[in-house]
Copies of this chain bind each other. A is one copy, B any other.
Amino acid sequence: MTRFHHKVHAEKQSREMFTEAAIEAAGSVDNGFDLRDADALYLGYFSSDNFEKQAHTSALMADWIGVNPIPTARIEAACASSGVAMNTGIMAIASGLYDIVIVGGVEKMRTLGTGDVTNTLAMAADASYEVAMGFTFPGLYAAMTAAHFHKYGSKWEQLTDIAIKNHENGKLNPKAQYQETIMDIALKLGARKGLTFGDEMDFLRSDLNAMVAEPLRLFDCCPISDGAATVILASEEVARKYTDTPVWIAGMGQASDTMALHDRDDLTSLKATKLASRQAYDMAGINAGDISFACVHDCFTSAEMMATEDLGFFKLGEGGKAASEGRTALDGDMPINTDGGLKAKGHPVGATGVAMVVEVFKQLRGEAGAHQLSDPRYGLAHNVGAAGATVSVQVYGR
Contact = CB atoms under 8 A, between A and B. Distances in A.
Interface in A108-125: 120, 123-125
Interface in A252-283: 254-260, 263, 271-272, 275-276
Interface in A184-237: none
A77 B73 CA distance: 6
Contacts of A60: 126, 259, 389
A75 B74 contact: yes
A50 B49 contact: yes
Contacts of A392: 71
A63 B63 CA distance: 35
Interface residues of A, number: 64
A78 interface: yes
Given A95-B91, A389-B63, A68 B257 contact: yes
Given A97-B91, A389-B63, A123 B49 contact: yes
A386 B50 CA distance: 18
Interface in A55-85: 55-60, 62-63, 67-78, 84
Given A92-B91, A95-B94, A389 B59 contact: yes
A380 to B, nearest CB: 17
A260 to B, nearest CB: 8
Given A56-B124, A94-B95, A259 B390 contact: no
Given A73-B77, A275-B69, A56 B94 contact: no
A354 to B, nearest CB: 15
A47 interface: yes
B56 A76 contact: yes
A54 to B, nearest CB: 4
Contacts of A91: 91-92, 95, 97
Interface string A33-54: 0000000010000111110111
A324 interface: no
A105 interface: no
A127 interface: yes
A13 interface: yes
Given A68-B257, A91-B95, A390 B59 contact: yes
Contacts of A57: 76
Nearest to A98: B91
Interface string A5-46: 000000001000000000000000000000000000100001
Lowest 3 CB-CB distances: which A-B pairs, in order? Answer: A71-B254, A49-B49, A94-B95
Interface of A: 13, 41, 46-50, 52-60, 62-63, 67-78, 84, 87-88, 91-92, 94-97, 120, 123-128, 131, 254-260, 263, 271-272, 275-276, 385-386, 389-390, 392
18 contacts: A53-B127, A55-B76, A55-B124, A56-B78, A57-B76, A59-B77, A63-B256, A69-B255, A69-B257, A71-B256, A71-B390, A72-B256, A75-B76, A88-B88, A91-B91, A91-B92, A91-B97, A92-B95
Given A49-B50, A75-B76, 10 more contacts: A49-B123, A53-B123, A54-B127, A55-B78, A63-B258, A71-B87, A71-B254, A73-B84, A94-B95, A95-B95
